[in-house]
A and B are shown apart, each in its own frame.
Chain A
Amino acid sequence: MNREDGDDSFDYLFKVVLIGDMGVGKTCVVQRFRNGTFVDRQGTTIGVDFTMKSLIVDGKRVKLQIWDTGGQERFRTITQSYYRSANGIVLCYDITCKQSYESLERWIDDVSKFAAPNVVKVVVGTKADLESERIVQVEDGEQLQRRHGMLTFIETSAKENTNVDKTFYRLAETLKRQHDAGMSIESQIEGIRLNSGSTPVGGLWQKYESCCRY
């Protein structure tokens, strides 16, 4: 994994959006991945926010722009506008909360309406440490994944740091490889791969966004 520095090293930027009912633990998952900490009982997310995190995939630097959205149903019309240009969507439900699992159908509906058709979807069952309070079975999650042609299903615990990193790495890896494959087919689409040394300014992300749809 030792990346050689030079002109052959490229950056990728992918936008990943977390959605799911309020309180399922989206913010905790993001915090765990971003800072390696579990901060219990921080406020509800109102609207949206995002953080950046770089990882190495196949020896290349991949940046994830991770969008954490508020789960409150009424504010959906606002948050929806932010998954327009997403490359990946992480759909979250709480394994101890049946309702949050059932709501996923509606969240998936939103994704098909507002996200790009080729967006990569992952379904995540959160709070896996609460095994004794489990209501949604592993099979239910798997079934949902298959039914909607999602990349993967995974159960995580932000509290005990289980599978959180794995989820994002898996997503990053897929996005990168999918992008590479897309690039070689449609080589005329340029722009997503940028030399790491000369990141252009302002509007950068927007430019990315408009050419991430391949």
Chain B
Amino acid sequence: MKRARGIVALRIPGVSARLTDDGDDQPTDEYIPGTLAIVEKATGVFIEWTPQGEDECGWVLADEDSGHTIPSLSPKPVDASSSSSLPSSGPLSPHSRLRFSVDVNDLSSFKNVEPKKGKKGHPCIRLIAKDGTNYVPLYFLTQSTKDFIDVLQRYVTLRRSAREHQLVLVVDEKAEALAQSLSTLDQNGDIMGRFMHNPYATAMTGLSKITTFVQDQVIPAILDSDAVSQEEKIRAMRELRTETDDTRLKISREADFEVVTQLELPPRPDIFRESPVTQAVWSSFKHSDGSFDQAKSHHMMMNVFRGGVETELRKEAWKYLLGYYEWSKTPAENEKKRAKLEKDYLRMKGQWTSISEDQESRFAKYVVRKALVEKDVARTDRTLKFFAGDDNPNLAMLHNVLMTYCMYDFDLGYVQGMSDFCSPLLYVMGNECDAFWCFVGFMQRVHANFEKDQTAIKVQLNQLRDLLMIVNPKLANYLESHDSDDMYFCFRWLIVWFKREFSFEDTCKLWEVLWTCQPCPNFLLLICAATLDRQTETIIENKFGLTEILKHVNDLSMHHDLDEMLTSAEAIFHQLSASQDKLPMHICEHLALGDKSVVGTPSGDEDDE
């Protein structure tokens, strides 16, 4: 049967997608040319982006006009042979997976980023769906985003967020109507009056437990009436409170409210990143005999913390940062240590390479481990040139290092995620022995994350929630009221130290920064907090729930700005540090604030509650 292909309401060629990274050694800032369209179809109105060289219509049909391409279920299910002839399985260009089509009714909002004043660049739009999906950022190379927004407005009502300028929300008419009626109520002084009586501002931004109804319905509704005046009111009230209140954290019970007065943190200082430490700077911290000057060690760590190290320096610097080489020893002494450890490595390697097939047949535990390692080596960073292709000797090296680690720590064994940690080390070191001992040093810091009971990771997730309560109570509250305060959506960040969120190069930089343990152990948690902090308005204004939050956070992968994350995390650190005496004990403990003894020691992952 013939069906209409839809009316194209708008078609803009020259709209390119951009991947921050395509997994190769060097981050590429490649634009993928394509066409953006708004199409009216029988099933609804769709925003569609197609990479150049692909059949726009054909694809449109393939995904939406199900009558043609989706095999029918009845009367009899398709069998194996016929399902393999689905049109969707045809050859696809490398960028086909970026192709998308989204129903305007499924659109929740979009980010509209204009190039900074005086800077070159192109306006960008990133669509966010109601299920939390972030679509690939689209850059308008030949025109402004105005036409797109104008045409889109024929189908949906748009409103720019008052709180985050770049965020444009698709307005849900019903929710808006509710908000309207509530704000009318409010004008009668009814609801507002009650909130004024009880600390409204605190309820809004403090750590409060309020009835679900108030939290889920009333507060968002009031907030969503959005007129700037509402915000003004809140701010005014907060200021009023802080004038009269002791800013110390205290808990009081008032009627149905369990109110924790919000701690006012000082403003976040401006932080600047610096350029990576060069060979010359690195050497300037050494004595003439090549050992490091202990008196300058803090200064040097801060240098590495502020800028990382130059690529060429990594091979040397990482050995020290990971505790494989000792700062206080001369190069000759370290070389001696290395020679000894190399023997150790070969000895342990020999322990498993000498296991014969016959032995294996009676060594099930070992065979299972080996299979796990093999499975993961085959899937680790294969897009990187260093690990690309079959029979790549680097794969065998990765395998050997991980297997030998199993022998080094048989109780722990191999756990997924370890290959993610090992791969950059091998890439930088270029040989098994050095990679292995660096890996041992790294594992010392993250060992607990991989242990069977998983308490360490849960402790960190709890600590993150506690931190967020102080740093961004509004978001912490929101997460709590949306079943997300277990913070499980940050699991991947913590377990592999953001390896999956950044390009390879950025991952290396992040890790060397973290290895310095500056400005506090557990700085990783502050990075998580800073990253979430940036997503506050997106999460709240899109009214994301449990699943959408997870999706949104997952989709941020490869779209983070490392330097920005690091500077905000450090700024938060200074904020907290400046208010140490007012912070609850457990927060100070999480960050080892005021504890001088921790500088330079591995991060305190094994903290208990």
A-side residues, CB < 8 A to B, are: 1-3, 5, 22-23, 35-37, 41-44, 46-50, 52, 54-58, 61, 65, 70-72, 74-75, 77-78, 81, 97, 99, 160-166, 169-170, 173, 196-206
Contacts and interface: CB of A to CB of B under 8 A. Distances in A.
A191 B378 CA distance: 45
Interface stretch (B86-94, B302-310, B464-472): B86-94
A55 B131 contact: no
Contact of A202 (B78, B88, B108, B451): B108
Interface in B93-111: 96-97, 105-106, 108
Nearest to A197: B105
Interface stretch (B293-301, B328-336, B402-410, B491-499): B491-499
Interface stretch (B115-123, B188-196, B226-234, B541-549): B541-549
Contacts of B546: 205-206
Nearest to B42: A5
Contact of A163 (B80, B97, B172, B547): B80
Contact of B1 (A2, A160, A163, A166): A2
Contact of B382 (A41, A48, A206): A41
Contacts of B73: 57-58, 169-170, 173
B554 A49 contact: yes
Given A36-B88, A163-B80, A204-B130, 16 more contacts: A3-B43, A5-B43, A22-B372, A22-B416, A37-B97, A41-B382, A46-B420, A55-B70, A72-B417, A74-B450, A78-B491, A162-B83, A165-B71, A166-B71, A200-B174, A206-B546
Contact of A47 (B175, B452, B491): B491
A23 B416 CA distance: 11
B-side interface mostly: loop
B503 to A, nearest CB: 14
B547 A206 contact: yes
Interface string B436-475: 0000000000000011101001100000000000000000
A165 B378 CA distance: 26
Contacts of B452: 74
Given A52-B133, A162-B80, A78 B545 contact: no
A5 B108 CA distance: 23
Closest 7 CB pairs of A and B: A202-B543, A36-B88, A23-B375, A72-B416, A201-B172, A56-B66, A206-B545
A62 to B, nearest CB: 10
B454 A46 contact: no
B500 interface: yes
B547 A50 contact: yes
Contacts of A200: 172, 174
A206 B548 CA distance: 10
Contacts of B90: 36
B415 interface: yes
B74 interface: yes
A36 B542 contact: no
15 contacts: A23-B375, A35-B88, A42-B379, A43-B381, A46-B500, A47-B488, A47-B495, A52-B133, A72-B416, A161-B83, A173-B73, A197-B44, A201-B172, A202-B172, A205-B131
Contacts of A56: 66-67, 70
A186 B524 CA distance: 50
Interface residues of B, number: 74
Contact of A44 (B92, B106, B376, B486): B376
Contacts, number: 175
B417 A3 contact: no
A104 B574 CA distance: 49
A71 B371 CA distance: 14
A36 B3 CA distance: 23
A69 to B, nearest CB: 11
A81 B486 contact: yes
A46 B488 CA distance: 12
A205 B106 CA distance: 12
Contacts of B42: 5
Contact of B84 (A23, A160, A204): A160
A26 B372 CA distance: 15
Contacts of A5: 42-43
Contacts of B545: 202-206
Contact of B548 (A42, A198, A205): A205
Contacts of B240: none
A72 B415 contact: yes
Contacts of B1: 2
A201 B492 CA distance: 27
